[in-house]
Amino acid sequence: MARLSSLNKLERSLMGRLKTHPLMLEVPTMAWQDLLLILIQRRYLSLTIVNIYEFVIDALMDEPIKKTVREILHEEYPRTTKGVPLPSHREHLFNDLLNMGATAEMILATPESPTTQRIRHESHQVLLSCLQSNHCQVGLVAWLRFWGEVLVSIEYGCFWKRISERLADRHTENKKRSEFYYFHMIHDSRGSDIGCENILGGLTHSQELAVHLEGLIQTEEALNYCLRLEETAFQLKRQFYDQFIPHSTPGRSAAAPVTMFPAG
Amino acid sequence: MLIMEPLTATTNWIQFLEDLCQREEHRLTRLETEVVLCLKEIPGQTKSDLLDIYIQSYSYIEEEAFTQRLKNIYKKFQVHGPGQKLPQLHKFAHDHYHKLKNQNGFFSSMGLNHIYSQFPKERFGDAIDQLVDASDQQPKEVDILQTFAPNLDDYARHLSRCLDRGVRVRILLAWPFSEAAKLREMVLKQYGDGSTDDDISIRDRVFANLETLEHIIKVSKKSELMEIRLYDTLPSLAIYRTGNYMLAAPFLHGSLAVNTFQLELTLDSSNQLITHTLKQDFELMWKVARFFRPEPNTNWRNNLKILFTH
């Protein structure tokens, strides 16, 4: 537990830094058209998440952890118990964007920016680097959880302040309900410090992975590896949002992820 | 202690004698059983009285043959005491009968009517229908408490009828994403007696129940009378209640609650120790559980996932 305190502290700090990223501070006053373009660009990262999850499932050795990751992935593609496919989370994302005022053409034809493409590529490179590490298994889980769940919830939390102007968190007469952003903001969230998950009340995706992470962090080296990975995840998110700040320098920052990331 | 099966509040003297003769340790023949069935509950019968009743009830028999048959009966009941054997046989039967009656009276006062070896499918369906059609003042409510109800589809029609006829329905199920549901699933997989699927998924089974309830909501004119709540704790007993009728069964490690013994209870019993405790626990779980409605034509699975995480 004491070993995890530095990781918990870092996570809280990085979450705070993402919330106060200059772009996130602009969200409340941003023009809707600009917000939609950011969310459309952000959608490209969402489309990647399935591949990231599939990669992690293949690279994990431990069956119970694989099971957890598999279950989270399969939630993206719900079915009835009779096997009838229901709209996927990807479709919910598309519809939320439409219901906020984007057109199908905007969503489908807006090209992925070079920065978004690079962030997506480098995120994948981080996973590849995990394979070379002595702490591969813990790295995969730490990356997946922090990059794909904890920070995602923070991002959507920041956007929700505006999204909720046009979409509701429940069925109402006036607004359509958000089926993607609102629910991911909640079920992806960090929920609690690692090691403090409560058996009652259910676990978010982040907490489900945290339970495994806690068991995998057995040494200081493993812990340090996680600290570096989570810092890298944050830097990638930061760079992604930097691209929308006028006059910011796109491209690699001093914390460029892959080169700073020797196999641990 | 003599324990008779089935244990019912309505066991009478003749049923008792018949059960007694059929018990493994006595093994009376049919002809011997007929003699025993001629014993009156009130003591004082002579051998001659018994013979007269036998001839009236069954067929003519020579006294000598009748005496021989009685001797066999005494032997099988181990009536060896000095003096006349017939009063001893009567006392043996009478003592056990009253012991059983006292037991039954006690259980009956507690509300226990019967114990089934597994869930009585038809009986519960009939009990719902009786409640719906009843004109008396018993509470017009149907309650089900389960982790998931494997038999819910059997009662979909009954529950729809309840709603249409103004009977309130309360369903308490496990929140399928709870740690408690996962634990129950693991226990069944690890310690199951073979009657449970090896690949049972509590999550899928609760989802299936919710789909059934979604359908009931869809077809019912008064679906607001059905309230569904989900809990994230461990349940005490599986409870199926309709008005003053209740079936309760434990969640054993080895099998689903519907496949184990079921206590059939009457809730308006004079002694409320069991029934009140069960009702109270249902109400407690109802209070701590969270409201959930699988609204037709909505993405209710989204709501379900976050029910306990915000």
Domains, chain A, in order of start with CATH, read: 5-242 (1.20.910.10)
The reply to whether residue A187 touches residue B305, judged by beta carbons under 8 angstroms, is: yes
The reply to whether residue A179 touches residue B233, judged by beta carbons under 8 angstroms, is: no
The reply to whether residue B309 touches residue A80, judged by beta carbons under 8 angstroms, is: no
pLDDT exceeds cutoff 50 at A78? yes
Where does chain A have alpha helices with state H? Answer: 5-19, 22-26, 32-59, 63-75, 89-99, 104-109, 114-131, 136-145, 151-166, 181-187, 205-216, 220-242
The reply to whether residue A202 touches residue B295, judged by beta carbons under 8 angstroms, is: no
The model's confidence at residue A247, banded by pLDDT at 50, 70 and 90, is low
Contacting A residues, span 68-107, partner chain B, CB-CB under 8 Å: 75, 78, 80-82, 86-87, 92
Neighbours of B184 (CB within 10 A): 21
pLDDT (mean) for A16-29 = 97
Q: Decide: B91 and B43 in contact? Cβ < 8 Å.
A: yes
Site of tokens 């249409």 = B164
Mutation target to probe the B interface, by most B beta carbons within 10 A, among A72, A76, A183 is A183
Of residues B10 and B162, which shows the higher confidence score? Answer: B162
Q: How far, in Å, CA of B220 to CA of B218, rounded? A: 6
Q: How far, in Å, CA of B51 to CA of B72, rounded? A: 15
The model's confidence at residue A259, banded by pLDDT at 50, 70 and 90, is very low
Q: How far, in Å, CA of A194 to CA of A227, rounded? A: 13
CB-count exposure of residue A45 (10 Å: 0-12, 13-18, 19+): buried
pLDDT (mean) for A151-172 = 95
Question: Is the Cβ of A61 closer than 8 Å to some Cβ of chain B?
Answer: no
pLDDT exceeds cutoff 80 at B2? no
Of residues B6 and A199, which shows the higher confidence score? Answer: A199
The reply to whether residue A171 touches residue B298, judged by beta carbons under 8 angstroms, is: yes
Preceding amide of B6 cis, omega within 30: yes
Mutation target to probe the B interface, by most B beta carbons within 10 A, among A68, A72, A81 is A81
Of A80, A53, A43, A44, the C-alpha closest to A180 is: A43
Tokens coding A111: 């090209």
Nearest CA in chain B to A180: B302
Q: How many CA atoms lie within 13 A of A205 on its CB side?
A: 29
Select from B177, B204, B207 the Cβ nearest to the Cβ of A202.
B177
Quote the percentage of chain B above a pLDDT of 70.
96
Lowest mean pLDDT among A10-14, B127-131, B136-140: B136-140
Of residues A264 and A107, which shows the higher confidence score? Answer: A107
Question: Is the Cβ of A202 closer than 8 Å to some Cβ of chain B?
Answer: yes
The reply to whether residue B175 touches residue A202, judged by beta carbons under 8 angstroms, is: yes
pLDDT value at position A211? 96
pLDDT value at position B152? 97
Q: Which residues of B touch A191 (CB under 8 A)?
A: 309
The model's confidence at residue B3, banded by pLDDT at 50, 70 and 90, is very low
Question: Is the Cβ of A247 closer than 8 Å to some Cβ of chain B?
Answer: no
Q: How far, in Å, CA of A99 to CA of A166, rounded? A: 8
Q: How far, in Å, CA of B93 to CA of B99, rounded? A: 10
Question: What's the gap in Å between the CA of A176 and the closest CA on chain B?
Answer: 12
Q: How far, in Å, CA of A162 to CA of A34, rounded? A: 12
pLDDT value at position A246? 80
Q: How far, in Å, CA of B178 to CA of A62, rounded? A: 22
**What's the mean per-residue pLDDT of chain A?**
92
pLDDT (mean) for A225-234 = 98
Q: How far, in Å, CA of B45 to CA of B47, rounded? A: 7
pLDDT exceeds cutoff 60 at B106? yes
The reply to whether residue A81 touches residue B305, judged by beta carbons under 8 angstroms, is: no
Select from B211, B302, B308 the Cβ nearest to the Cβ of A179.
B302
Q: Which residues of B touch A82 (CB under 8 A)?
A: 211
pLDDT exceeds cutoff 90 at B158? yes
Q: How far, in Å, CA of A93 to CA of A106, rounded? A: 14
Of residues B9 and B212, which shows the higher confidence score? Answer: B212
pLDDT exceeds cutoff 90 at A109? yes
Q: Decide: A116 and A229 in contact? Cβ < 8 Å.
A: no
Of residues A74 and B235, which shows the higher confidence score? Answer: A74
**What's the mean per-residue pLDDT of chain B?**
89
pLDDT value at position A253? 40
The reply to whether residue B204 touches residue A203, judged by beta carbons under 8 angstroms, is: no
Nearest CA in chain A to B214: A80
pLDDT value at position B62? 93
pLDDT value at position A101? 97
pLDDT (mean) for B264-289 = 93
Tokens coding A239: 């760079």
Query: DSSP letter string over A3-68?
Result: TTHHHHHHHHHHHHHHHTSHHHHHGGGS-HHHHHHHHHHHHHHHHHHHHHHHHHHHH---HHHHHH
Lowest mean pLDDT among A44-53, A195-204, B210-219: A195-204
Q: B141 Cβ partners below 8 Å, 6+ apart?
A: B167, B168, B169, B170, B241, B242, B243
pLDDT value at position A3? 80
Of residues A250 and B139, which shows the higher confidence score? Answer: B139
**Chain centre distance of CA A189:** 9
pLDDT exceeds cutoff 50 at B9? no
pLDDT (mean) for A136-156 = 98
Q: Which residues of A touch B310 (CB under 8 A)?
A: 186
The model's confidence at residue B26, banded by pLDDT at 50, 70 and 90, is confident
pLDDT value at position B189? 86
Q: How far, in Å, CA of B148 to CA of B207, rounded? A: 9
Contacting B residues, span 265-304, partner chain A, CB-CB under 8 Å: 295, 298-299, 301-302
pLDDT value at position A199? 85
Query: DSSP assignment, residue B155?
Result: G
Torsion angle, CA of B10/B15/B17/B18, rounded to 10 degrees?
A: -150
Q: Which residues of B touch A203 (CB under 8 A)?
A: 177, 179, 309
Grouping H, G, I as helix, E, B as strand and the rest as coil, residue A176 is: strand
Q: How many CA atoms lie within 13 A of A2 on its CB side?
A: 0
